[in-house]
Amino acid sequence: MKPKIAVLLGGHSLERDISFQSGNRVAAAALALGYRVVSLDVDEHIVSYLREEKPDLCFIALHGRFGEDGAIQGLLEAMGLPYTGSGVLASVLGMDKSLSKDIFLREGIPTPDFIALSTGAVKELGAANVVKDIVARLGLPLVIKPSSQGSAQGVNFVQKEEEITAALLGAFSYGDKVILEKFVRGKEVAVSVLGAERARALPPVEIAPKKGHFDFQAMYTMGATEYFIPARLPDALTKKVQSLALQAHKCLGCRDLSRVDFIVEAKTDTPYVLELNTIPGLTETSLFPMAAAHAGVDFTDLIGKIIEAALKR
């Protein structure tokens, strides 16, 4: 009999809806591959659901808090249940930009200069006093965003110093730690890494603003961006971002799948890693499956490879 797969989806994060879309598609693919499949909406009863269902493998199709940050991974470790994707440590590192960026820098992977601030530092240590120094170091404009990256919400671009308080307050809504990051102007490129068997980087995807929109603003406006696959980069730069993506995937200890988001600086052609997602979207129209399709791996195959790799562990 084929192994039984529990697809974990839904959950309590702000990305619940996307998770259902990813998870339902994963479940359909697993069924098509002949696995026995059960889909579980993750809530406080998940332990009893899993005890009852006794799956051979959990496919984690959760995004954001509790799904991508090591929480569910830790729980499954405790229950002795194998699961897809990165382990606890890599999940924690991937979720927290202040940690992953620090590791990238140590590994020689370029990432924009940044400083992390916690609510504790602000409330108890008067960290607001150093904001001026931070601005002096990073320059303007700068980007303020929640350090935990599950949701891409709460990202604020600051052009003038007086906008900083509102931007910090906004970013702190999504977590107790935020990062202030130097703004790098350039091309936005996402590289997916398929880590099953031997990890390999898929073709980079470029996300570009349409004409008539400012570059970074367009990224956040419906219908204002378009994408190119593969990214419009010279061959050497394509190879460079792919090798950096692989290096990022490996140095955080990721497994099975990840997506590394870059900005390729216009002036210098330097690719900077902005973040790494340990559970990229798997919906019909998400970047990861599209990059895989471009590399000749259709969605069902892709899910099959991830499941097989996880079952072998």
Given 31, 216, 250, 308, the residue binding another protein (CB under 8 A): 216
Q: Which tokens hold the place of 82?
A: 């194998």
The verdict on 48 binding another protein (CB under 8 A) reads no
The verdict on 219 binding another protein (CB under 8 A) reads yes
Region binding another protein by CB under 8 A among candidate stretches 160-168, 250-258, 268-276, 297-305: 160-168
The verdict on 295 binding another protein (CB under 8 A) reads no
Question: What is the amino acid identity at position 257?
Answer: L
Whichever of 48 and 129 has its CB closer to another protein, that residue is: 129
Compute the distance between CA of residue 158 and CA of residue 115 in angstroms, rounded to an integer.
Answer: 15
Region binding another protein by CB under 8 A among candidate stretches 16-24, 47-55, 75-83, 194-202: 16-24
Q: What is the DSSP string of 69-115?
A: SSHHHHHHHHHT--BSS--HHHHHHHHBHHHHHHHHHHTT-----EE
Handedness of CA 4, 16, 168, 123 (dihedral sign): negative
Catalytic residue numbers, as ranges: 15, 151, 220, 259, 261, 275, 277, 281
Compute the distance between CA of residue 199 and CA of residue 185 in angstroms, rounded to an integer.
Answer: 30
- Interior CA angle at 248 toward 243 and 254, to 5°? 120
Region binding another protein by CB under 8 A among candidate stretches 70-78, 245-253, 266-274, 277-285: 277-285
> Is the separation of the CB atoms in 167 and 156 below 8 Å?
yes
Q: What is the DSSP string of 152-215?
A: -TT-EEE-SGGGHHHHHHHHHTT-SEEEEEE---EEEEEEEEE-SSS-EEPPPEEEEEPTTS-H
| Site mask for another protein (CB under 8 A), range 17-46, x = bound | xx-x----------------------x---
CB of 282 to another protein, least distance (A): 10
Region binding another protein by CB under 8 A among candidate stretches 32-40, 67-75, 215-223, 241-249: 215-223
Given 222, 234, 236, 312, the residue binding another protein (CB under 8 A): 222
CB of 295 to another protein, least distance (A): 12
Compute the distance between CA of residue 280 and CA of residue 63 in angstroms, rounded to an integer.
Answer: 8
Nearest partner of 61 among 29, 91, 19, 98, judged by Cα = 19
The verdict on 238 binding another protein (CB under 8 A) reads no
Whichever of 2 and 123 has its CB closer to another protein, that residue is: 123
The verdict on 213 binding another protein (CB under 8 A) reads yes
User: Which residue ranges make up the site for another protein (CB under 8 A)?
Assistant: 12, 14-18, 20, 43, 63, 119, 122-123, 126, 128-129, 151-157, 165-166, 168-174, 207, 210, 212-214, 216-230, 232, 281, 283, 285-287, 290, 294
